[in-house]
Amino acid sequence: MEPEGRVILKGEHIAKHFGALAALSGVDFTLHEGEILGLIGPNGSGKTTLFNVITGVYRPTKGKVFFEGQDITGLSPHKICQLGIAKTSQIVQPFTHMTVAENVLVGAMYGGGLSQREAWDKTWEVLEFVRLDKVGNVSSGNISIPDRRRLELARALATSAKVILLDENMAGLTPSEIEEALDLLRAIRVRGITLMVVEHIMRAVMGISDRMIVFDYGEKIAEGTPGEIADNPEVIKAYLGEKYA
């Protein structure tokens, strides 16, 4: 199955070694404009490492990353964010001494190109969109888990990213909170933003993804529609014995 949109983000033969450990070895992927691409794989299979390579936190040992046709390999995280790629963290780490709105403002300023006044306008627009406007002036240390997850998304949205990488943004949510989170992702897609979603909650990631890729031990072992992935014997094997199977 060939997705419809043009390729917005592409990885070629990406490898990342930490000493003797190959966290990623020779991974190729494409992300097409407007799609939701799911990325799954057992713990330690390299998902977060790939996000860190894409966003410039790590320089790959080998391989290249292209964004809108431009080679962005080795650029600083700040530069990559300004070009239009943002990610949410697996470990939620808001600046707890700041309010929810101030946290989102950091995203708006970091994304670049906005005056302080425009950044505040952007902040409140985004807070309303993710339905955090009512807690905008609350200290971010005092909000609920689902609100913290939404705050992570709001910070990414405030940078005016074209591509957002979500790293387990639904971890710790109840089933009804997961439904709300999925609705929010669909609304983000309607805004024209392209999403790459790492998630262990299979029902959620299978339900939302147009296409999926599967990692095992730092390699891509499968790629296809959620239906194809669910039936793939390699994938079932990789998850056998995993609590997420």
Phi first, then psi: give them for residue 24, nearest 5 degrees.
-140, 135
Which token pair is 15?
Answer: 């490898």
Residue 21: CB minimum distance to ligand ATP, A: 6
User: Shortest Cβ distance from residue 27 to ligand ATP (Å)?
Assistant: 11
To ligand ATP, the closest distance from the beta carbon of 195 in angstroms equals 17
Q: Which is nearer to Mg ion, 1 or 21 (CB)?
A: 21
Residue with tokens 């992702």, as numbered in its chain: 185
Q: Which segments within the chain are labelled E, that is strand?
A: 7-18, 21-32, 36-40, 62-67, 70-71, 85-88, 163-167, 194-198, 211-216, 219-224
Residue closer to ligand ATP, measured from CB, 109 or 214: 214
Residue identified by tokens 């807070």 is 127
Q: Which of 25, 30, 49, 194 binds ligand ATP (CB under 6 A)?
A: 49
DSSP label at residue 172? T
Query: CA 186, 67, 83 angle in degrees (round to 5)?
Result: 80
Q: How far is the CB of 220 from ligand ATP (least distance, A)?
A: 12
Q: Is 212 in the site for ligand ATP (CB under 6 A)?
A: no
Q: Can you tell me which of 2, 20, 43, 192 binds ligand ATP, judged by CB under 6 A?
A: 43
Among 25, 30, 45, 88, binds ligand ATP (CB under 6 A): 45
Is residue 48 part of the contact set for Mg ion (CB under 5 A)?
yes
Span of 5-13, 36-44, 96-104, 105-113 interacting with ligand ATP by CB under 6 A: 36-44
